[in-house]
């Protein structure tokens, strides 16, 4: 018996904790807490921090924009981040399994899956374009430097073209923008060569084979990094989450040494306090915080579900949220120092060269890089940084879908075959991304970005807050967090979760509706049928919530509708901590195995007990650990 106990201890199966080892082996955990923090930072810090925030900041009052931005971070961003991390960590389940807390709202989890699917499809296409620019930058002269290429038009005017007699000619050309629009070599390279852009979203044209190949590379990289789930991705993030900061610092040091860099930075930071009274500025600040942190995508819940039960996710949420926002501000210095240099070189205002989104990443910034000595090196570094920023988010998007599927099925077979589930999701993502590599692909990419992941995220997040705080009950949830962390959530977070954060989310929703404008791309205005498809994509994730709620109410027990509603919203019996040793208090089973063992070991009939022990001692599992008969003795 002693030998058997020692053998069980070597295998990690101490008496009463056999389920703990099995659970961690089955589902997996982070190797250490640094892996979780780095993965979450990589998830939150994405392309938007580089190509959206700096533009929003200068457009909305420069340094004055920082005030509403950090107000929204404190009252909405960090509380929502903490809520999602604690939600996933407490139940150790993905975005579907956590809704055992109130089964009627499981449609929120399906909505998160739909949103993550849309984002995962088009996000990897952006990464594949960054891969393409990364590869073509490995040359002596960047292909978008001059206007002497077959794809260039007579309107092309390059900042380094030899046909420009002097600087004054260039400035004069810039002043004539009202009568003759200047197109840069980088813009024509982007539109006429990389995309070979068609004239309409319905005219798909041909598949751009170089982009298709890079899309395949992107998905292969993502799959290989997730081939063993969080065990493999947790090692990769040591590089993918940290190296972008090295590149940002290199580009920043190079940027601030250039002539005109200070002008660009001042343009970025100079506060325009009159704009702080504009509701649009506050709306942009709230939206940027909300979308930048990745709330309501399902990724935060999924990543936290692989934490240890007692991990201090309160501390993690503050660290990750502040790191995300600090990165956005830092990236603004990197972007505007280079743009200020280019504006100075062209003799124009910084606003003439500032852009956001793909226009910044693939047109404005690449053109500015051509002015630097050894421009291919800076281009390689910049696009490598974009690739890493994108991959950090893409890892979590794919893991969200895979974890939800595996947790929902939950049997031994699918847990063992999780790698094949990951492969299947990756292949499906690649095939669904192929239309985005056609000549009309950029139109579809922007359509998905503007509609599939916009107001639907706000609706999902708002319903999640209401379901946890008011349906499940704020007192219950605060007790859950106290059980998990050893202390209840601070009073500030309790107030934010119940009142302030839902109010801000509702404000974002109203702001989004009021500020809605039909999507356009440069001079191209989307047709009505395309915008209708965009609304259908947005609706497809939100509609999951009422459909599943109706289904659950119909399947619930009860003679009246009110009884069915109560049963459908009541927490299921298996809600709570995943491991038996953590199920204490109101989650403790009515008749636990430990109680049974205490009853059996009472020495009322010692002879019988000894004979049972002798009979039970040979029983071992295939891994050498003792079966439950031993633990009872």
Q: Which residues are annotated as a binding site?
A: 42, 44-45, 49, 292, 324, 389
Q: How many CB atoms lie within 10 A of CB 584?
A: 11
Q: To which residue do tokens 């392309």 refer?
A: 47
- What Cα–Cα distance (Å) separates residue 532 from each residue in 451, 526, 527? 10, 10, 9
CA 244 to chain CA mean position, Å: 16
Length of the chain: 633
- What Cα–Cα distance (Å) separates residue 519 from each residue in 181, 362, 442, 451, 515? 23, 20, 13, 9, 12
Q: Which residues pair with 525 in a beta bridge?
A: 520
Task: Judge whether 522 and 81 are in contact, CB under 8 Å.
Answer: no
Burial class (CB in 10 A: 0-12, 13-18, 19+), 71: middle
Give the pairing of strands 524-525 and 520-521: antiparallel
Q: How far apart are CA 80 and CA 490, in angstroms?
A: 14
CA 474 to chain CA mean position, Å: 27
Residue of 631, 633, 632 whose CA lies nearest to 13: 631
Instruction: Report the largest interatomic distance among the alpha carbons of the chain, rounded to a whole angstrom.
Output: 108
Task: Judge whether 113 and 298 are in contact, CB under 8 Å.
Answer: yes
Enclosing H/E stretch for 17:
none
Query: Crossing angle for the helix pair 313-346 and 279-292, nearest 10 degrees?
Result: 120
Q: How far apart are CA 300 and CA 43, in angstroms?
A: 8
Q: Enter the tokens of residue 330.
A: 């830092």
Interior angle at CA 529, CA 525 and CA 535, nearest 5: 95
Residue of 230, 211, 217 whose CA lies nearest to 422: 230
Rg for the chain, CA atoms, rounded:
28
618: three-class secondary structure by DSSP: coil
Binding site residue list for Na(+): 42, 44-45, 49, 292, 324, 389
Residue of 393, 436, 365, 435 whose CA lies nearest to 133: 365
Q: How far apart are CA 316 and CA 299, in angstroms?
A: 15
For residues 225, 228, 230, 233, the Cα torsion angle rounded to the nearest 10 degrees is -20
């Amino acid at each position: 018996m002693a030998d058997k106990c020692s053998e069980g201890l070597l295998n990690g199966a101490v008496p009463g904790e056999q389920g703990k080892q099995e659970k961690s082996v089955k589902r997996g955990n982070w190797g250490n807490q640094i892996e979780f923090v780095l993965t979450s930072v990589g998830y939150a810090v994405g392309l938007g921090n580089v190509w959206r925030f700096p533009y929003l900041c200068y457009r909305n009052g420069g340094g004055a924009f920082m005030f509403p931005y950090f107000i929204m971070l404190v009252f909405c961003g960090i509380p929502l981040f903490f809520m999602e991390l604690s939600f996933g960590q407490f139940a150790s389940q993905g975005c579907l399994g956590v809704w055992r807390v109130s089964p009627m709202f499981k449609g929120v989890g399906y909505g998160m899956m739909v949103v993550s699917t849309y984002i995962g499809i088009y996000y990897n296409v952006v990464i594949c374009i960054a891969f393409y620019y990364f590869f073509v930058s490995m040359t002596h002269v960047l292909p978008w430097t001059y206007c002497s290429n077959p794809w260039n038009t007579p309107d092309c005017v390059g900042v380094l073209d030899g046909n420009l007699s002097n600087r004054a000619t260039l400035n004069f050309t810039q002043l004539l923008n009202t009568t003759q629009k200047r197109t840069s070599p980088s813009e024509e390279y982007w539109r006429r060569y990389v995309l070979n852009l068609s004239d309409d979203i319905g005219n798909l044209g041909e598949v751009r084979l170089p982009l298709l190949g890079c899309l395949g590379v992107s998905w292969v990289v993502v799959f290989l990094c997730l081939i063993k789930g969080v065990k493999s991705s947790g090692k990769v993030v040591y590089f993918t989450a940290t190296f972008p900061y090295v590149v940002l610092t290199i580009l920043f040091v190079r940027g601030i040494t250039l002539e005109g860099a200070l002008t660009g930075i001042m343009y970025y930071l100079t506060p325009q306090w009159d704009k702080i009274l504009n509701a649009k500025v506050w709306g942009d600040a709230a939206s940027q915080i909300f979308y930048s942190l990745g709330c309501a995508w399902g990724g935060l819940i999924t990543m936290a579900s692989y934490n240890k039960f007692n991990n201090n996710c309160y501390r993690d949420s503050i660290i990750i949220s502040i790191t995300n926002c600090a990165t956005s501000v830092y990236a603004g210095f990197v972007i505007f120092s280079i743009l200020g240099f280019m504006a100075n070189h062209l003799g124009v205002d910084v606003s003439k060269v500032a852009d956001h989104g793909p226009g910044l990443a693939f047109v404005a910034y690449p053109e500015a890089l051509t002015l630097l000595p050894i421009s291919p090196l800076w281009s390689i570094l910049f696009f490598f940084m974009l690739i890493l920023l994108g991959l950090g988010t893409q890892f979590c998007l794919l893991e969200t879908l895979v974890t939800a599927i595996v947790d929902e099925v939950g049997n031994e077979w699918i847990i063992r075959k999780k790698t094949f589930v990951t492969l299947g999701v990756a292949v499906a993502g690649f095939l669904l991304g192929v239309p985005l590599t056609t000549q009309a692909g950029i139109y579809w990419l922007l359509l998905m970005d503007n509609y599939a992941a916009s107001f639907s995220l706000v609706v999902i997040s708002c319903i999640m807050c209401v379901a946890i705080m008011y349906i499940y009950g704020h007192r219950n949830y605060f007790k859950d967090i106290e059980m998990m962390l050893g202390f209840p959530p601070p009073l500030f977070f309790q107030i934010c979760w119940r009142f302030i954060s839902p109010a801000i989310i509702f404000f974002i929703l109203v702001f989004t509706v009021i500020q809605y404008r039909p999507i356009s791309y440069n001079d191209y205005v989307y047709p009505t049928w395309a915008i209708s498809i965009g609304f259908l994509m947005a609706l497809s994730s939100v509609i999951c919530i009422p459909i599943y709620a109706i289904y659950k109410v119909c399947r619930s027990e009860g003679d009246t509708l009110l009884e069915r509603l109560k049963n459908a919203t009541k927490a299921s019996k298996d809600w709570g901590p995943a491991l038996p040793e953590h199920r204490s208090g109101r989650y403790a089973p009515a008749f636990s195995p430990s109680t049974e063992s205490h009853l059996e070991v009472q020495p009322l009939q010692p002879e019988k007990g000894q004979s049972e022990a002798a009979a039970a001692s040979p029983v071992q599992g295939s891994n050498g650990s003792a079966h439950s008969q031993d633990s009872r003795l």
